[in-house]
């Protein structure tokens, strides 16, 4: 497991260099059974070369694309939502679209969502010691998130909502960090789908630690679905930089012209 390559040192593939293969997996075979409905985990969702190419694209985005938050940095594609949780219609960039969206379609992941495809992607980068407090993603989105992990593994924690709701709703991050009810290990190059009750009735977060511990079949819900268990034989993993691409379907979408009218333009 190496560090995330820098934009300048990564091999410069073009999209044409990849033979984009279809994703012929029956979701039922990758269901995370230890969790409430519904989570699915595919360990080998993108190849090593595709991972390298995607990381390079993330890291070579212009600096203003990044929002530096206190515990991670973030890119929002195609744009942040308006104050009333509406997306201004604009296509996703080709690099976020080309490899991943056809595979999500093959799997039928967004087939029941309003636009039958994701229209919004949040890109998160976590250095060792960084994370995201327990929160829920809220009502702006269809209740499904498809997360592609790049660069390094990380543990994704799931919390019962009861008793730890923070001072707001939506993506408000809570102050206290109780013990997670479930833990999912996301390997680099994997896809995690969370939907249904897991989206609506639970909170999720990533601990701000430099090492993920208690890694084994008794504490990791998707242990049986991992690609590479030997890495965790000591029961721990020293964090390295990890990038996530989180694909969602925003429910309300408006054309730019309508948004301008709403804002008082002509």
Task: In whole angstroms, give the CA distance from residue 213 to residue 219.
Answer: 9
* Closer residue to ligand AKG (CB): 107 or 133: 133
Count other C-beta atoms under 10 Å from residue 151's C-beta: 25
Nearest approach, Cβ of residue 86 and ligand AKG (Å): 18
* Closer residue to ligand AKG (CB): 30 or 158: 158
- Residue 122 backbone phi and psi in degrees, to 5: -100, 130
Task: In whole angstroms, give the CA distance from residue 238 to residue 217.
Answer: 18
Nearest approach, Cβ of residue 43 and ligand AKG (Å): 15
* Closer residue to ligand AKG (CB): 53 or 141: 141
Residue spans of alpha helices (H) in the chain: 48-59, 94-97, 100-107, 196-200, 256-262
Nearest approach, Cβ of residue 153 and ligand AKG (Å): 11
82, 85, 88, 89 alpha-carbon torsion, rounded to 10°: 170
Nearest approach, Cβ of residue 264 and ligand AKG (Å): 31
3-state DSSP call for residue 68? strand
For Cα atoms 59, 63, 68, give the angle at the middle one, nearest 5 degrees: 90
| Nearest one of 56, 54, 26 to 42, comparing CA atoms | 26
Count other C-beta atoms under 10 Å from residue 261's C-beta: 12
- How many residues bind ligand AKG (CB under 6 A)? The answer is 9
120 to 159: interface string for ligand AKG, x by CB under 6 A: --x-x-------x----x---------x--------x---
Task: By CB under 6 A, tell whether 32 contacts ligand AKG.
Answer: no
154: left (phi over 0), alpha (psi -120 to 50) or beta: beta
Residues 6+ apart with CB under 8 A from 1: 152, 153, 188, 231, 240
Binders of ligand AKG in range 223-252 (CB under 6 A): 244, 246
Nearest approach, Cβ of residue 7 and ligand AKG (Å): 20
* Closer residue to ligand AKG (CB): 89 or 172: 172
Binding-site member from 204, 225, 247, 249 for ligand AKG (CB under 6 A): 204
* Closer residue to ligand AKG (CB): 97 or 173: 173
Nearest approach, Cβ of residue 83 and ligand AKG (Å): 19
Relative to beta strand 132-135, strand 144-150 is: unpaired
* Closer residue to ligand AKG (CB): 176 or 233: 176
* Residue whose CB is nearest to ligand AKG in the complex, by number: 244
* Closer residue to ligand AKG (CB): 45 or 156: 156
Nearest approach, Cβ of residue 123 and ligand AKG (Å): 9
Binding site for ligand AKG (CB under 6 A): 122, 124, 132, 137, 147, 156, 204, 244, 246
């Amino acid at each position: 497991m190496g560090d995330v390559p820098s934009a300048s040192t990564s091999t410069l593939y073009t999209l044409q260099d990849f033979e984009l293969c279809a994703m012929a997996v029956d979701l039922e075979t990758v269901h995370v059974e230890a969790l409430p409905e519904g989570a699915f985990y595919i360990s080998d969702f993108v190849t090593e070369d595709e991972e390298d190419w995607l990381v390079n694209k993330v890291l070579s985005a212009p600096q203003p694309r990044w929002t530096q938050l206190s515990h991670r940095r973030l890119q929002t594609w195609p744009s942040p939502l308006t104050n009333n949780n509406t997306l201004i219609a604009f296509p996703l960039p080709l690099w976020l679209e080309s490899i991943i969206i056809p595979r999500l379609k093959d799997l039928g992941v967004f087939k029941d969502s309003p636009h039958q495809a994701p229209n919004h992607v949040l890109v998160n980068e976590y250095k060792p010691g960084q994370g995201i407090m327990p929160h829920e993603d809220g009502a702006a989105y269809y209740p499904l998130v498809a997360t592609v992990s790049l660069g390094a593994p990380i543990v994704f924690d799931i919390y019962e909502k009861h008793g730890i709701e923070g001072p707001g709703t939506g993506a408000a991050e809570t102050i206290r960090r109780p013990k997670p009810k479930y833990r999912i290990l996301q390997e680099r190059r994997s896809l995690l789908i969370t939907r249904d009750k897991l989206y609506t009735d639970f909170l999720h977060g990533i601990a701000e630690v430099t090492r993920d511990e208690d890694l084994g079949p008794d504490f990791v819900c998707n242990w049986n679905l991992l690609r590479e268990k030997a890495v965790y034989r000591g029961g721990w993993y020293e964090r390295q930089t990890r990038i996530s691409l989180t694909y969602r379907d925003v429910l309300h979408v408006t054309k730019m012209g309508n948004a301008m009218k709403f804002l008082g333009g002509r």
